[in-house]
Structure 1
Amino acid sequence: MRILQTVSVKQVLTEMSKYKLLKKYKDNKQQLKKECEQLLFEMKKLDRTRKYTPAGLKSQFDKEIDIRKEKIKLIDFQIEQLDLLPLGSELNDQDVQALIDIKVGDNWEEVTKGKTIIIKDGTIIEIRER
């Protein structure tokens, strides 16, 4: 019989992976800033049409803009933390599902013990039993 098990994937921080993460964070931040600008533009455009109440319109757009500003603050924090991390640190990257073969007589605790895959610059360098 086979069961699904969650496997944690960790990434070893190297110059290359740090650069890629920093680029990803900056790209996400730039995208969120563009969305804020677009929302402001749309709010002004809809405000001119006079189809909606200005207070309701403004509060809805402000809410959406605030959500994006919070995400920007989170990205800024992540960038700060990335700068503090030494090379060689292990970062949680993602969780994946793995098929595990089990049979009668297997030790359940050993089977369900989690596994971790360690990746360095896109290459698996280690598979650990937790």
Structure 2
Amino acid sequence: MGVRSGTSVDVYVGARISLRRSALGLSQTALAEELGVSFQQVQKYETGANRISASRLHRIATVLGTSVGAFFPPAESTVAGPDASGWLGRVRWLQATSEGRVLATAFPRIADVRTRRAVARVVAALARAG
């Protein structure tokens, strides 16, 4: 039996779960305990390495306080592959470091739109400066 990897939709769903979990301040371990699985299993779900059954996805949505549909891309969109060229790839790079996770979690909590734009400009300038 060969090793199978998740499809681009599996990767997208996993990334959305990871973003929602991080935004709520939950660790992979905390989510795993709520689901009755190991944190390694949550890691595999979040990377798209393992597919998620419908009942498990429903439980994840319930624990994370959202709908199952919130994890899926719009039907008319095409989902980027697991490379870094598409939106999903950039999100995965952001989630790959502790600093990126802090930024991804904190940024949506900035209430003032002008402040969010200023922060985005500063981050973009720092990235260009290398």
Going by fraction, where is strand more abundant, 1 or 2? 1
TM-score (structure 1 length as normaliser): 0.24
TM-score (structure 2 length as normaliser): 0.24
Higher RCO (C-alpha under 8 Å, 6+ residues apart): 1
Going by fraction, where is helix more abundant, 1 or 2? 2
